[in-house]
Amino acid sequence: MGIIALIFSLIFVLIPIVLSKTLNLGLEKDTMIAVIRSIIQLFIVGYILKFVFDAESIIYIFLMVAVMIIAATLNARKKGAAIKGITWKIAVTLIFIEVLTQSILLGFNITPHTAQYIIPISGMMVGNGMVLAILFLNRFIAETEAHQDKAELILSLGGTPKQAVHIQLMTSIKASMIPTIESQKTIGLVQLPGMMSGQIIAGASPVQAVQFQLLVLFLLLTTASITSVMLGFLSYPTLFNKRMQLARSK
């Protein structure tokens, strides 16, 4: 795609702006900001990745992945401000997912040991982990607030903190995992996934594109389960004080 073609693609930006203006939605400014930011950010990332790929240095790969994890952590923590130490909990979860998935991929030679594979796959895993963390935290905080009296009743009857929030925890874990599982049920029928479409457009064999896409789907399932479960079990103890009482939300 050339610059001229890219400029013509801005037609797809004008459509939502016109609709927003016509219906008085007031989203014109936000849409323009989003578009301008995406253009600047993607071009910057593109040039950075080109430099990293050409350099073929493990240090640059590590730094790129570290930046991804930091950015994802800072964004996701906003939804869990009510949970003490949520920043490090999210960071530990994302780091664990990255180390686990890359250890398997590289250890079994599933993917090449190059930046062209490590960085994009890491980006998908960290990005998906961030979204799942946000989904889990939103639901878990809402569940604990909605059933606070029930949890306190269980505690008053001699129950443990884990027993007091067990249902809320399991409900939140399940709710955050469902979108990933459900979306994979219609892969190939309703939509062609981004990685597969990109490879096909780039000229790769559709069969090879399918193989890589299946790899990504399996990784996303792992990310979904580990993020929800690990973040959940790291988070729930901080909802209670030293006397095992449920802290009232402010």
Asked whether 212 and 105 are in contact (CB, 8 A), the reply is no
The DSSP code for 247 is P
Mean pLDDT of 108-114: 91
- At 184-197, the pLDDT tens digits run 887 776 666 677 77
Whether residue 163 has pLDDT greater than 90: no
Mind listing the pLDDT tens digit for each residue in 118-127? 999 999 999 9
**pLDDT bracket for residue 250 (50, 70, 90):** very low
Q: Give the residue carrying structure tokens 């190059």.
A: 114
Three-state secondary-structure class, residue 190: coil
First and final C-alpha spacing in the chain: 52
Predicted local confidence at residue 81, as pLDDT: 82
CA angle 114, 117, 122 (to 5 degrees): 115
Q: Cβ neighbours of residue 40 under 8 Å, at least 6 residues apart?
A: none
Alpha-carbon span 37 to 39, nearest angstrom: 5
Q: Whole-prediction pTM value?
A: 0.82
